Structure 1
Amino acid sequence: MGKKIFSGVQPTGNLHLGNYLGAIKNFVKLNNESENECVFCVVDLHAITVNQDPKDLRNNIRETVAAFVASGIDPKKNIIFNQSQVSAHSETAWILSCVARMGWLNRMTQFKEKAGKDKEKASVGLYSYPVLMAADILLYDTTHVPVGDDQKQHLELCRDIAQKFNNDFKVEDFFKIPEPLIQKEFSRIMSLKDGTKKMSKSDPSDLSRINLTDDKDQIVNKIKKAKTDPLPLPSNIMDLEKRPEAKNLIGIYASLTNSNLEKSINEFSGKNFSEFKDNLSQVLVDKIIPISEEIKKLLIEEKYLDEILLNGFEKADKIASKKVKKIHEIIGF
C-alpha cells in the first residue's frame, strides 16, 4: 500500500544544493514510486515568520515551483500548491494552538537557535511555527513526512498534538499519526567555506553554496575554492569524522552519485583534493546544470507556474476544507 506524503519547502529564494540533496531529490524519488500520493507545499505562511519583501516573496514562490518541476516532480501526478491559498491551514493552526501546550513549544530547540539571544524580539509566528506545521501535515491524513534532523522534533510535536486532539475529543484515529521518513545515506550539506556550518542562502558569501541556478563556470570555481585541509583524503569513516570539510565534500559526492560514504571514501582514499574536486565538479555539473537551465526556462513561463499553483490549490483545498468541516463538527462549532 502506498504512502500519503506531505512535505513543504519555504520560498526563501536562491534554492541551493542543500535544499536539493536534503529535500527535493528525495521528493523526486517519492514522486516516482507510483503507489505514493504526494502533496508538495510551498510554505509561504512559514516564510513570513521573518520579514519578507512582498515582490521577492511572490517571485520566490514561483521559483520554488520551478525548482520542483525542473528536478522531476510531475505537477499532474502530484499536488503542488502554496499554503496561503488554502485557508484551512491558518484556521486549523489556530484550533491546534488551543490543543498544543506552552511547555511543548518551549522545548523546541529550533526556536531558540533562530531567535538567538534576544528572543523577546522574535515574532509570535516564529515561536508557534511548529503548530502551523502540524496543521499542514494533519489536514491531508498524511502517513509519512520526509524530515531532516532539524525538523524531527517538530514532527514529534505534531504527533503529540494529533494524539491529544484525538484523546480530548474521543475521536480515535481522526488525525492520523504521521511517521518520519529519514533519508538513508544522507549527510547534511554544509557550507563550502566552513564544514561546521550548514549551507545557507543567508551566508553573505556566494562561494559558500552551490545555487540551483548556477552555471558550469560558477560550479567549477566554487568547488575549486571550497575549503579543504592539507592532508590527502582519508581511508576510513573514523578519520573522516574528524575532518568536517572533507566529510562535507565526500558527503555531497556520495549523495549525487547515489552511493554510500564508505564506497566514496574507498574510491578516493589517499588521493589529493585537487583530483577529487575535479571529479566532484563533473558530477555536480552533470546533475545541476540540466536543473538550472530548466528553472531559468520555467521562470519565464509565469503563467504556466501560476496554473500549476491554481490546479494544486483546487485539489488541496478540496481535501483540506473537507477535513476542517469535520473538525468543526467534532469541536462543536
Structure 2
Amino acid sequence: MSNIVFSGIQPSGTIHLGNYLGAIKQWVDLQDKYKSLFCIVDLHAITANKLLASELKSNIFKTVAAYIACGIDPEKSIIFSQSTVSGHAELSGLLGCYTPVGWLNRMTQFKDKAGSDKQKASLGLYSYPVLMAADILLYRAQYVPVGDDQKQHLELARDIALAFNNYYKLDYFVVPEILVLDHASRIMSLRDGTSKMSKSDPSEYSRINLDDTDDLIVKKIGKAKTDSILGFDFTTLKCRLEISNLINIYSVLSSLDVDKVCEEMSKHNMKHFKKELADLIISVISPIREKVIDLLRDRFYLHEILEKGAKKAAEVASHNMKEIKDIVGFVQ
C-alpha cells in the first residue's frame, strides 16, 4: 500500500471559495499525513473552453500562488504543472488501450459538458477520465480527495487499474481509494442552490473569488439568492437549498455546527445574517488575497516552485513509466 495523495485543480479561472473550502483547505491537513502531490492540471484545462496562451499562463501562476497562500507548503508537498511531466500524457495514451469505449460512454460529466451537440466536443473532453486516471496511477497514489462530481471518474480509474493488473496478472498499479472530503464543504452557487460554485458559471455573482475585494464580497453576499420564508429553522434546510448553502458556508468558516448557526441566527433577520456572513468570509479571504497579491509580484519564485516540483514529480513518473513499459513489453 502506498502512502501517496494526488489531487489537482484546473487553471481555468480564478480560485474561488468553493475550491478553497471544498479542496485546498482540506489538502493543507492532508500534507502532514501523506506524501502529497498537488498538481495544476493544465492539460485538463484545455479540454473544453480554450484560453488565450497569456491567460492560461497567468492562471497557472495564480493557482500556484493560491495554493501557497492557502497553506500548501512547497517544502512538504510537491506542487507542479501537469504538462511539465510528460508521463501524464504518455500514460494516458497507453491506458487508452485498456479502456473500453463503453466505459467512457457512461461518463455523465462528458454528456453535461458536451451539451446537445456532442459531435463538436473534443476528443480531449471525451478522454478526460483516462487522463485523470493516468494522473493518479502514474504516481501509484493510494488516496485521491475528490468531490461528488469526480467520483465516477475515480471509479473509472480504479477499473482501468484493475483491467491492466488483471491483463498482466500482477498487482502493479495501486487501485486508488476515494478520500472523501468533508461533505459540509461542498459549496454551491450563490445564485442556484442546485449547482456547485464554479469558475465556468457566467455570473460573477455566483461565486466568491479569492481575489475579490472586501466591498465586492459584501455586494455578492448581499445579492445572494434567498427565499421569502422567515427564520433559520434547522429542520427545513433541506427544502431551502440557497439558505442551506449560506448557512453551510458560515458553519465551515466558523467551525460551528449547522444547528448551532441556525440557533444563533434565529435571533436575527436575513440582512443581519448576510452581514455576519460577509464579515466572516472577509476575515478568511482577505489575508489569502493579500498573500496571493504579494506572491504574484515574484513570478521567479513561483516558477522556481513549479520547476522544483516538476523535477521531483518527474523522477517518480520516469521510474514508474519505465516499469510500466517493461511490463507491456516495449524495448527501451
Which amino acid letter does the alignment assign opposite residue 9 of structure 1?
A: I
Structure 1 residue 185, shift from structure 2 partner: 4.3
Which amino acid letter does the alignment assign opposite residue 14 of structure 2?
A: N
Structure 1 residue 254, shift from structure 2 partner: 1.3
Which amino acid letter does the alignment assign opposite residue 174 of structure 2?
A: K
Report if the CA contact (8 A) 1:2-1:36 is conserved: no
Structure 1 segments of 4+ aligned residues over 6 angstroms from their partners = none
Cα distance in 1 for partners of 2:137, 2:269 equals 49
Q: Deviations over 1:264-296 (max 9, x none)?
A: 223323632112112111110111000011111
Aligned to 2:208, which of 207, 210, 213?
210
**Structure 2 match to 1:134:** 133
Report if the CA contact (8 A) 1:234-1:270 is conserved: no
Cα distance in 1 for partners of 2:85, 2:244 equals 41
With over 3 angstroms needed to count, the CA separation of the structure-2 counterparts of 1:184 and 1:197, relative to structure 1, is closer
**Structure 2 match to 1:47:** 45
Structure 1 residue 55, shift from structure 2 partner: 0.8
Cα distance in 2 for partners of 1:205, 1:134 equals 31
Q: Deviations over 1:104-143 (max 9, x none)?
A: 1111100000001101100000000000000100111211
Matched, 1:272 2:269: yes
**Structure 1 match to 2:21:** 21
**Structure 2 match to 1:10:** 10
Report if the CA contact (8 A) 1:80-1:312 is conserved: yes
**Structure 2 match to 1:233:** 231
Q: Deviations over 1:5-24 (max 9, x none)?
A: 00011001211111111111
Which amino acid letter does the alignment assign opposite residue 220 of structure 2?
A: K
**Structure 1 match to 2:74:** 75
Which amino acid letter does the alignment assign opposite residue 164 of structure 1?
A: A
**Structure 2 match to 1:303:** 300
Matched, 1:323 2:281: no
SS in 2 for 1:180: strand
Report if the CA contact (8 A) 1:2-1:37 is conserved: no
Structure 1 residue 64, shift from structure 2 partner: 0.5
Structure 1 residue 170, shift from structure 2 partner: 1.2
SS in 2 for 1:303: helix
Structure 1 residue 2, shift from structure 2 partner: 8.5
**Structure 2 match to 1:102:** 101
Q: Deviations over 1:155-193 (max 9, x none)?
A: 000000001100101122x10011111123424322222
Report if the CA contact (8 A) 2:23-2:181 is conserved: no
Which amino acid letter does the alignment assign opposite residue 318 of structure 2?
A: S
Cα distance in 2 for partners of 1:249, 1:16 equals 15
Which amino acid letter does the alignment assign opposite residue 251 of structure 1?
A: N
SS in 2 for 1:271: coil
Structure 1 residue 207, shift from structure 2 partner: 1.9
**Structure 2 match to 1:259:** 256
Which amino acid letter does the alignment assign opposite residue 239 of structure 2?
A: K
> TM-score, normalising length from structure 1?
0.95
Deviates more, 1:224-233 or 1:145-154: 224-233
Cα distance in 1 for partners of 2:210, 2:84 equals 26
Cα distance in 2 for partners of 1:38, 1:320 equals 14
Structure 1 residue 48, shift from structure 2 partner: 1.0
User: How many pairs were matched up?
Assistant: 329
**Structure 2 match to 1:37:** 35
With over 3 angstroms needed to count, the CA separation of the structure-2 counterparts of 1:124 and 1:168, relative to structure 1, is same
Cα distance in 1 for partners of 2:231, 2:144 equals 35
Aligned to 2:187, which of 189, 196, 199?
189
Report if the CA contact (8 A) 1:185-1:260 is conserved: no
**Structure 2 match to 1:219:** 217
Q: Deviations over 1:206-255 (max 9, x none)?
A: 22211100111111121112121122233224x11111110110111112
Q: Deviations over 1:289-311 (max 9, x none)?
A: 00011111111111000000000
Two-structure CA RMSD over aligned residues (Å): 1.5
Report if the CA contact (8 A) 2:14-2:199 is conserved: yes
Report if the CA contact (8 A) 1:191-1:197 is conserved: yes
> TM-score, normalising length from structure 2?
0.95
Matched, 1:288 2:289: no
SS in 1 for 2:60: helix
Cα distance in 2 for partners of 1:259, 1:182 equals 20
SS in 2 for 1:94: helix
Which amino acid letter does the alignment assign opposite residue 199 of structure 1?
A: M
Structure 1 residue 200, shift from structure 2 partner: 2.1
Cα distance in 2 for partners of 1:40, 1:119 equals 31
